[in-house]
Amino acid sequence: MRLNKVSIYKFKNIESAEIELTDTTLLVGANNAGKSTVLQSVHFAAQCLRLAPEANKPGTISLSEIEYIPTNQYKSLGHGEQWGNQKNTPESKIVFQFSREQEGDVQFFEAEAVIKSARNEGISIAPKIPPELQPFFRGQDKVFSAYIPGIAGIPLSEDFISKRNVYKKVASGDSNVVLRNVLLLIDKFGKTEDLRSAIQTIYPDIEYDVSFDEEKNFHIEASIRGVGTQAKYPLESSGTGFLQVMQVLSYLVLFRPQVILIDEPESHLHPTLQTRLVRFLEKRVSEFDSRALITTHSPFVARGLSSDSKTVWLAKGKVRAASQSNDIRNALGWGALDRQILLCTEDAKVGHLQRIVNQDEGLADKVAIVPLSGVDRMGAGGIVRDLQKNLGANHKIMVHRDRDCLTDEEITEWSTDYEKYGFKTWAPQYTDIESCFLTEEIVCNALQLDVAAYEKAVSEIFEKNEDAFFETFKNKRREINRKYEKTGGSPSSEDLWSKWGLLSKVNGKSLLTEFRKWAEGEGHDISKLGKISDGVVAAPDLLTELRMLL
């Protein structure tokens, strides 16, 4: 029996959201999108189902009983309006769906919590928990959800408290104040080596020790040390990132919750450690039949997950897209969430293209550049269409490729497979993106040249490299003819070579290198080449096309 879906209705900024779960589910989106609200609603509803006087009868929970509540102003937890305390007044509902597979048949069970204000101080709850699910929500020593909203250090000392009080503190979300007690319980239950091993998957050189002697100690003693060393340091002297990892993993080892809720685990962790942590979590929750629900803004957290994990994109309290593909996770790294236009490019490195887009401040925050690394890898328009669908089908799409010595007719043929899906296409006027930075206007402005000096530079570069340039051009045209002109009829390489200008027939990357050599020899500041100075615009046609998509 495993939790496989959570549905949230009219809770805080969420009107309606259904989150289908895999072993590890990632919640992504902009600030105030509703990510943390999902975690809070799950944890709060689970607490209410446990504390309800009866499993299937409306009742009241006093505020003194509640271990976790997102805000003391609990009436404000309604969506757009305060909770009422009468029949047919505003309320929230959270539904947990479980599945069980037996002999090839799958059965589904649901528990729900309908929550609003009580007539007096407290929470009114109408629970529905079928017998099959009651052990998960109401079983003794069962922790349905472990909520980790982040950690800001631990107290300098910690008194020993009872197991019941430890569980209560953990349920409240204030677990950093009882971390040493959690470690002591793990030791009591013989799970210390399990936790040490888990920690060392993230921090391979660190071990910890914990002890408490009722006859000798006033406080629990906890320390860390290097593997194979004797020198110990107090646990409270550890970095916040280490403490956060210890907290997450200790919860998993001790409580084995049905779902572990982690809010932005990247806050205090180096990117490499972020990736290690989520990889371990995904493996361990699968072994424990648990689930992990994680909010993040970090592409490094996203990259750590396997293709079996799920990513849910939230925007304005609603699920905008959900996918087990890599598209949404990649979009997090591209900065594509909440942008209006995806500029899909063949280039793996997008610095030059980004500089072009950044010329227009009105476009810069509306366009996300998505590197797809090579024309052949981009494939057909259907692949880009799948990308658009997996991101919620709300983005406008433009596809870029370098011209690479193609004729206008060949560019038109290439673009057809994208334009039939309604996507715009763009190829630079010259050979590639780099060539956009080598026009007469831009180079003259960057190096403070007059037109005659620019033309002299072009002539010298061409004469010096003509044979090599032409050989590269012929090879490129040979490849083009195999792909676009299989039946013959294409213009000859010699004809095109004689008709086209330098920027149209020579690779811009190579030209930029040669321009730098020339400029350095003439005593110019070569750092200004490949950049855009004030007063000039690179690739204005691209900016115009992008504006038309808004």
Same domain? For 409 and 533 the reply is no
Spatial CA neighbour of 3 closest among 28, 20, 26, 27:
20
Q: What is the pLDDT of residue 229?
A: 86
Write the single-letter amino acid at 257: P
Contact 309, 8 (CB under 8 A): no
Same domain? For 447 and 522 the reply is yes
Same domain? For 34 and 165 the reply is no
Q: What is the pLDDT of residue 371?
A: 86
Domain boundary (432, 462, 480) is at 432
Same domain? For 160 and 140 the reply is no
Same domain? For 75 and 182 the reply is no
Spatial CA neighbour of 262 closest among 230, 299, 217, 292:
292
C-alpha to C-alpha distance for 3 and 145, rounded to whole angstroms: 11
Q: What is the pLDDT of residues 193-207, one digit of tens each?
A: 999 999 999 999 999
Same domain? For 447 and 540 the reply is yes
Same domain? For 383 and 341 the reply is yes
CA angle 380, 28, 43 (to 5 degrees): 145
Q: Give the residue numbers spanning the domain of 540.
A: 435-549
Same domain? For 134 and 1 the reply is yes
Can you give the pTM of this predicted structure?
A: 0.79
Same domain? For 60 and 169 the reply is no
Q: For the chain, report the end-to-end CA distance as a whole number of angstroms.
A: 47
Same domain? For 377 and 423 the reply is yes
Q: DSSP string spanning 388-425?
A: HHHTTS--EEEEE---TT--HHHHHHHHHHHHTTT-EE
Same domain? For 402 and 501 the reply is no
Residue whose token pair is 């509306």: 366
Backbone angles phi, psi at 519, to 5 degrees: -65, -40
The structural domain count of the chain equals 4
Q: Please state the separation of Cα 539 from the chain's center in Å.
A: 31
Q: DSSP string spanning 155-222?
A: -S------HHHHHHHHHHT-GGGGHHHHHHHHHHTT-HHHHHHHHHHHSTTEEEEEE--TTT-SS-EE
Domain boundary (256, 282, 316) is at 256
Q: What is the pLDDT of residue 230?
A: 84
User: In which residue ranges of the chain is pLDDT below 50?
Assistant: none
Any bridge partners for residue 114, and if so which? 93, 126
Exposure pattern of 372-388 as b/e (b: 16+ CB <10 Å)?
beeeeebeebeebbebb
Name the pairing type of β-strands 145-148 and 123-128.
Answer: unpaired
Same domain? For 516 and 451 the reply is yes
Give the domain CATH number at 54.
Answer: 3.40.50.300
Structure tokens at 207: 């071990």
Q: What is the pLDDT of residues 479-532, one digit of tens each?
A: 888 877 666 667 889 999 999 999 999 999 999 999 999 999 999 999 889 889
Domain boundary (232, 256, 280) is at 256
Task: Count the Cβ atoms, other than its own, within 10 Å of residue 18.
Answer: 14
